[in-house]
Amino acid sequence: MLLRTENLSKHFGGLRAVDGIDFELEEGEVRGLIGPNGSGKSTFFNLVSGIYRPDEGSRIRIGGQDTTHFEPHRIAALGVARTFQLLRVFSEMTVLENLLVGHHLHVAYGPVAAVLGTRRMRNEERRVREEMMELLAFIGLADFAAMLASELSVGQRRLLALGRAMAMRPRLLMLDEPAAGLSPVNVDNLLRIIVGLKERYGLTVIIVEHILRVVMDTCEKVTVLDHGQKIAEGTPDEVKTDHAVIEAYLGREMEDDEVRRVLQG
């Protein structure tokens, strides 16, 4: 078991954003996490990655360690990488530097070596730059390495955010709406990249996505949230026909035609 949550909860004032979620994820799985707007998907990510403090009584275990009260950088050190719905790339840093920060935990030299400019430090710096350039080539941003992240298009920034997470060489990759705002062609590209990454590095992945085709095509298993609670879990086909899921989506007149089409079809 790579990730397990027990009774995971988070409230904001009177609002139960995440409400007693028990969640289990096996190593190597690609899991979809879906639910209507405001159902608690991003909050779930923020809890697992340590950005929010869970409520009393919650438990999070990652790779057998109790991480309920870990700070985010310690969770990152366990091999958990995530992207953000609003991207949060480092705007005033170059594209390459963004990945280098992602690789932070794997850059093996300290400040003293940096000041002395030791051979080891210079070799290490050359190595990580080469590796990050390779990764940039893989996600198709190599030509932009020296540009500031703020100069990229929104779609390119999305790729950069994914690249930064990959630079962490994670075991568990959590993607919060990686395809939002991408054109259909780019969504296909992104899918290829995600599947490619998964095969290449043997990752475990959780994808939050509103474009249900992405989830249905890539995930073996899907978890559905509504009002902070887990209302269904199973294969895409099982979930599609689940009564509670259809109600959660259609009962509230979603505007997204695609949701309706995919769920009914």
Partner 1 sequence: MAEQAASLRFIDATERGLTRLRAVHPLAPWLVAFLLLAPLPWVLLNTYHVFLANFICVMILLSVGLNIVKGFCGQVTVGHVGLYAIGAYTAAVMSVNFGMTFWMSLPIAVMVTLLAGAVVGIPSFRLEGAYLALVTLGLGESVRIFISATEYLGATNGFSGIPAPRIGDFRFDTYQKYYYLVMPVMLLGVFFSFRILRSRLGRGFMAVREDPVAAAAAGVNVRGHKMIAFLISAGYAGFAGALYAHMIPGYLNPRNFTVIEMVTLLLMVVLGGLGHIWGGVIGAIIVTIVYDITKDYYHYSLLLFGSVIVLTVLFMPKGIGGIIDRFIATRRFIAIREGRATRPGSDDAA
Ligand X SMILES: Nc1ncnc2c1ncn2[C@@H]1O[C@H](COP(=O)(O)OP(=O)(O)OP(=O)(O)O)[C@@H](O)[C@H]1O
What are the E-state strand segments in 67-196? 80-82, 172-176
Size of the site for partner 1 (CB under 8 A): 34
Cα torsion for 216, 222, 223, 225, to the nearest 10°? 10
**Binding-site member from 23, 44, 84, 144 for partner 1 (CB under 8 A):** 84
Cβ proximity to ligand X: between 12 and 201 the closer is 12
CA atoms of 178 and 161, how far apart (whole Å) = 9
CA atoms of 265 and 258, how far apart (whole Å) = 10
Asked if 137 touches partner 1 (CB under 8 A), the answer is: no
Residue 179 interacting partner from Mg ion, partner 1, ligand X, none (CB closer than 5 to 8 Å by kind): none
What are the E-state strand segments in 69-116? 80-82
Pairing of strands 3-12, 15-25: antiparallel
Cβ proximity to ligand X: between 43 and 83 the closer is 43
Residue 17 interacting partner from Mg ion, ligand X, partner 1, none (CB closer than 5 to 8 Å by kind): ligand X
Asked if 72 touches ligand X (CB under 6 A), the answer is: no
CA atoms of 127 and 243, how far apart (whole Å) = 53
Residue 109 interacting partner from Mg ion, partner 1, ligand X, none (CB closer than 5 to 8 Å by kind): partner 1
Cβ proximity to Mg ion: between 46 and 96 the closer is 46
Contacts of 123 by beta carbon, 8 Å cutoff, 6+ apart: none
Residue pair 44/19 in contact by the 8 Å Cβ criterion: no
User: For residues 15-44, which are near ligand X according to CB under 6 A?
Assistant: 15, 17, 35, 37-43
Asked if 9 touches ligand X (CB under 6 A), the answer is: no
* 3-state secondary structure at position 92: coil
Residues that bind partner 1 (CB under 8 A): 49-51, 71-73, 76-77, 81-82, 84, 88-93, 97, 100-102, 104-105, 107, 109, 111, 114-115, 117, 121, 125, 146, 164, 168
